[in-house]
Amino acid sequence: MVELAIDFDQKKEELGDLYGLFFEDLNHAADGGLYAEMIQNRSFEYTHLDNDDYHPLYGWQDGNGDPLTEVKLQLRVLSDDPLHLHNRHYLKVNSREARTIANDGYNQGLFFEAGESYDFSCFAKPDLLQQRIQVGISYEGEVPKLTELAIDGRDWQEYHLQLTAEQTTKTGKLVVVFPELTDLAIDMISLFPVKTFKNRPNGCRKDIAEMLAAMKPKFMRFPGGCLVHDGSLNANDHDSMYRWKNTVGPVAFRPTKRNNWGYNQSLGLGFYEYFLLCEDLGAEPLPVLPAGWDPHHQRAVPLAEMGEWIQDALDLIEFANGSTDTTWGALREEMGHPEPFNMSYLGIGNEEVGQQFFDRYDLFHEALKKAHPEIKLINSSGPFAAGSEYDRGWANAKKNHSDLVDEHFYSSPSWFIAHHHRYDNIDPAGPKVFLGEYATKDNKWWNALAEASFMIGLERNAAKVGLACYAPMLTNVAHVNWAPDMIWYDQAEVYGTVNYTVQKLFTEFQGTQNVGWTATDLPADAVWDDRPITGACSFKGDGAEIRISEIFLLDNETGQQWAFPDMTISNDEELPLQDIQSEDYQLHFRFTKTGGQEKKGFKLNYGKLSDDDRYIWSLGGWENQDCMVESIKEGYHTVLTQNIWHVETGVSYDCLIKIKGRQIQTSVDGVVFNETEDLPVVAKPLYINTVYDEKLDRYIAKLVNLQPEPQEITVTTGEVEKVISYSGEKETVATMTNKQPLTETVLTDGNATVTVPAQGISFVIVKDQTKGEKNETIIG
Ligand code: AHR
């Protein structure tokens, strides 16, 4: 029998703000998601710069339900007399006959609940003194009951109306009718449910935000991701990088911007609203700012002109924390929040690659630490778990004494299991890890379980890992840019994936401090995969035209050598070389890119057992910016290590890859580019961490079982008060109609022997009975 003793007196690492959230506006996470605005393109600002399909009337329909189009001189989108310089476009109606426009939001239908109220608002400006419009809800295409609204101001003015839904529907529309002889301009046509999260005006969708609140996150990183640094350098451009000053002040006066995920962002959910949401969630705000460097488009602000960007960061601290007699603190007060938001973390950059970023980070760091030593600054270590940019980020963070370094990786479940000890040996004196984005690339239970086992390693290393958050967080089911995601929704419903179940469990029961534990009689670790990298080799095209010559494969074990004729790859064809079973071999070739797509290179497959089980050397990967060693395991892609590199057309490169066991080394022109080991996959019989939760005054043993058999364990210290367990089949996924497909058991029978389900998780809540009764029961 396995026995677990929790050492109540051995309090160890503080868990601090370990588990939090990462919000990025991708997948329509803000507009059409968390932001409760129901109307798509409320301000007629959509443009082809956002998306090829967009135009200023995108999202709007006429009275017949057809896409709304301009009617000469009668119904037009104009910009000559705008509501605000930042919100230029508006609808001008000057019509003899009545005109109807309608909007069905982001999911081909608005969600209305019978008896619930909705706030309609718009800005309008009549050209004749007295005008009126009629507003109503249409259910399932029925003719709406209309309410009249007088438009009687002289200039642009805001109008409000409350509508109450008479039916429940997912396919409703907002209908606005302009009666005969209308002559007015209208903009910011908006509809919000009255019941937003915490009833905030311009607030968040209640159901989605409540799922976040239920997690009890310790922090929230916002507003992205790639969203932060993908864009132009001029804050006034429609496709500018995410500049926070564009997102504060009156909502109607904010510009809308191109979102790099292929849509328009209204910025109605802006930095003020993010801060407010963090406060409502009880989470530390963790904003991320761009550093004047867009690695995607290789755009950099000259170093001498970085003052404006650094000032933005200083002003953000003033906006969040400054007194109300400062410029930005006064704006915060004006927006409704005189009290400071007490921001203590600030991220500079996201997944940054290239020295250009780090030259700029140095400037931010110096200025920010000088003015605000109290703010914890977060540096960046690129998009992958290892390689040149990862090392560059860490080196720069150590040089500057950054407080944390933002790491990102999206990898296979087996990679996560193999890397359980990733943080065991990092320097506790250096910056802390902020694992700002991670996931195992699927929403199946096995993925969530692998993430859970990895999280045990995160919290065991809480002295070195300061913060961690799963990514991405939200997706609208009709607008998926990136999957997997933690929470899915449409216009009416929301569900948490099985990954959400795990994240919620770990976050809600994070605890305050680690405590010591010992377990006796645990079975030995199981080696699941330590096979050497053997199998087929082949070249694979990736859109570029490549000539390859001097191809030699050498088996270092036997001395056998194979030579292959010169070959040319184009498009995505695959040219097989040889199957090799040796544990020590190398492949040499020269190549020249002769044409094809500019932002493409090619790949070498090796150790290939199937399409779903292979290794890749990618030369000119990701937009021809990388040289990477990757693997595909169980069909899931992992970047094992990455170097930045660009394949020049017409240049001949001399390449060598050496494989020994599970070690891989690549070089180009005699220089080592990538060096890595694909760690063996070794699974523990049980992943264990124990924590103390100050608020609950309870100890929690967190047990993750990846094995196909249940594991019994007897807790020999204290009194077992409650056991919460989840289990499922490896392939189990949650869906909109099956929101909790896992088996959940909650035991309160006091039994000290706990059965951790096969491929399951148990959190055991333990009371130190020697302390006497403090709390009756901790959770219902
Ligand atoms: O989380 C999705 C994207 O993944 C983020 O925008 C980016 O930081 C990462 O590449």
């000119």: which residue's tokens?
620
Q: How far is the CA of 377 from the centre of ligand 1 (A)?
A: 20
Q: How far is the CA of 696 from the centre of ligand 1 (A)?
A: 35
| pLDDT in the model for residue 143 | 83
347 CB less than 6 Å from ligand 1?
no
Please state, in angstroms and as integers, the Cα–Cα distance from residue 609 to each residue in 304, 580, 584, following that order: 53, 11, 17
Q: Whose CA is nearest to atom 2 of ligand 1?
A: 472
Q: Determine the length of the chain.
A: 780
224 CB less than 6 Å from ligand 1?
yes
With beta carbons less than 8 A apart as the criterion, state whether 627 and 641 touch. no
Indicate the pLDDT class of residue 773, thresholds 50, 70 and 90: low
């935000």: which residue's tokens?
209
24 CB less than 6 Å from ligand 1?
yes
Residues paired with 656 in a beta bridge:
588, 667
With beta carbons less than 8 A apart as the criterion, state whether 107 and 177 touch. no
Instruction: Convert the pLDDT of each residue in 724-740 to its tens digit.
Output: 999 999 999 999 999 99
Instruction: Convert the pLDDT of each residue in 228-248 to its tens digit.
Output: 999 999 999 999 999 999 999
225 CB less than 6 Å from ligand 1?
yes
With beta carbons less than 8 A apart as the criterion, state whether 237 and 243 touch. no
With beta carbons less than 8 A apart as the criterion, state whether 437 and 408 touch. yes
Atom of ligand 1 nearest to the CA of 383: 10
Mean pLDDT (whole number) for 375-401: 98
Report residue 450 as tokens: 């692998």
Report residue 627 as tokens: 């040289």
| pLDDT in the model for residue 463 | 96
Atom of ligand 1 nearest to the CA of 351: 8
With beta carbons less than 8 A apart as the criterion, state whether 555 and 585 touch. yes
Looking at this protein, which amino acid is placed at residue 637? H
With beta carbons less than 8 A apart as the criterion, state whether 756 and 689 touch. no
- Which residue from 330, 347, 188 is spatially nearest to 249, judged by alpha carbons? 330
Atom of ligand 1 nearest to the CA of 224: 6
Instruction: Convert the pLDDT of each residue in 192-209 to its tens digit.
Output: 999 999 999 999 999 999
Count of alpha carbons within 13 Å of 564, Cβ hemisphere only? 20
Q: How far is the CA of 30 from the centre of ligand 1 (A)?
A: 15
Mean pLDDT for all residues in the chain: 97
| pLDDT in the model for residue 771 | 79
Atom of ligand 1 nearest to the CA of 22: 1
349 CB less than 6 Å from ligand 1?
no
- Which residue from 90, 88, 68 is spatially nearest to 77, judged by alpha carbons? 90
Ligand 1 pocket, mutate which of 408, 410, 628, 639 (most atoms under 8 A from CB): 408
For the ranges 566-575, 593-602, 711-720, 770-779, which has the lowest average pLDDT? 770-779
710: Cβ contacts below 8 Å, ≥ 6 apart: 755, 756, 757, 758, 760
Indicate the pLDDT class of residue 779, thresholds 50, 70 and 90: very low
pLDDT at 161 over 50: yes
Mean pLDDT (whole number) for 45-49: 98
With beta carbons less than 8 A apart as the criterion, state whether 663 and 638 touch. no
Instruction: Convert the pLDDT of each residue in 258-307 to its tens digit.
Output: 999 999 999 999 999 999 999 999 999 999 999 999 999 999 999 999 99
DSSP 8-state symbol, 444: B
Ligand 1 pocket, mutate which of 350, 378, 384, 479 (most atoms under 8 A from CB): 350
400: Cβ contacts below 8 Å, ≥ 6 apart: 361, 362, 365, 377, 379
From the list 13, 37, 284, 351, the catalytic residue is 351
Instruction: Convert the pLDDT of each residue in 58-75 to its tens digit.
Output: 999 999 999 999 999 999
Atom of ligand 1 nearest to the CA of 436: 8
- Which residue from 311, 324, 303, 379 is spatially nearest to 346, judged by alpha carbons? 379
Residues paired with 9 in a beta bridge:
none
DSSP percent split of the chain into helix, strand, coil, nearest 5: 15, 40, 40
472 CB less than 6 Å from ligand 1?
yes
Ligand 1 pocket, mutate which of 22, 226, 265 (most atoms under 8 A from CB): 226
| pLDDT in the model for residue 772 | 63
Q: Mark whether 140 is an active-site residue.
A: no
DSSP 8-state symbol, 142: P
350 CB less than 6 Å from ligand 1?
yes
27 CB less than 6 Å from ligand 1?
no
Task: Write the DSSP assignment of 393-431 as a string of letters.
Answer: HHHHHHHHT-SEEEEEEE--HHHHHHTTTTTTTS-TTSP
Q: Whose CA is nearest to atom 4 of ligand 1?
A: 225
CB atoms within 10 A of CB 636: 18
Q: How far is the CA of 165 from the centre of ligand 1 (A)?
A: 38
Ligand 1 pocket, mutate which of 351, 411, 485, 487 (most atoms under 8 A from CB): 351
Question: Quick one: three-class SS letters along 371-396?
Answer: HCCCCEEEEECCCCCCEHHHHHHHHH
Q: Whose CA is nearest to atom 8 of ligand 1?
A: 225
Q: What is the phi/psi pair of residue 507, to 5°? A: -75, -45
- The rounded percent of the chain whose pLDDT value lies above 70 is 99
383 CB less than 6 Å from ligand 1?
yes
DSSP 8-state symbol, 204: B
pLDDT top residue among 769 and 335: 335
685: Cβ contacts below 8 Å, ≥ 6 apart: 522, 523, 524, 525, 526, 705, 707, 711
Q: What end-to-end distance do the CA atoms of the chain give, in Å? A: 30
Looking at this protein, which amino acid is placed at residue 177? V
351 CB less than 6 Å from ligand 1?
yes
